[in-house]
Amino acid sequence: MSVSVIDASFVLQALLGNENKAHSFHKLFLDSKTSVHAPTILGYEVTNGLRFTLKDSLLASQVLQKFAELPIQYFSFTGLQLKQIMELSYTLQTTAYDTSYHFLAHILNGIFYTCDKDYFDKAKHLPGIKFVGE
């Protein structure tokens, strides 16, 4: 079984109507040979993204409900893993949040899917990352 790790940039673009991103997103979840994973922070990042993207709180709640129903396996890091994430984020000059997704893909031998061009540009020299572009 292949492992995919997704971040908030990918989730939000797919849930908020970017058709190209939504197609890639749905393919991950429809592929029975792929398991989708994320750090536990994903829920907070998606919730915050909806809060500041959508002005209609009812619509934001509906989108969040769709997100909550996705079969994502969540992962909590150990103290040692958090230290490794922090060190990598210093090396890449990125946030620990963004780095945590890529780190998770690394430890699970999977692929990290992101729409975050800034992070991708800083980390593309490392294995296990795929930019879901325009």
Check residue 133 and give its pLDDT: 75
- State the Cα–Cα distance between residues 127 and 70, nearest whole angstrom: 26
Give this prediction's pTM: 0.91
What are the boundaries of each domain within the chain? 2-131
Cα angle 115, 66, 43; round to 5: 60
pLDDT tens-place values along the chain, 134 residues long: 899 999 999 999 888 876 666 667 777 777 778 899 999 999 999 999 999 999 999 999 999 999 999 999 999 999 999 999 999 999 999 999 999 999 999 999 999 999 999 999 999 999 999 998 76
- State the Cα–Cα distance between residues 20 and 82, nearest whole angstrom: 33
Assess if CATH 3.40.50.1010 describes domain 2-131.
Answer: yes
Check residue 17 and give its pLDDT: 74
Residue 37 and residue 72 in contact, taking contact as beta carbons nearer than 8 Å: yes
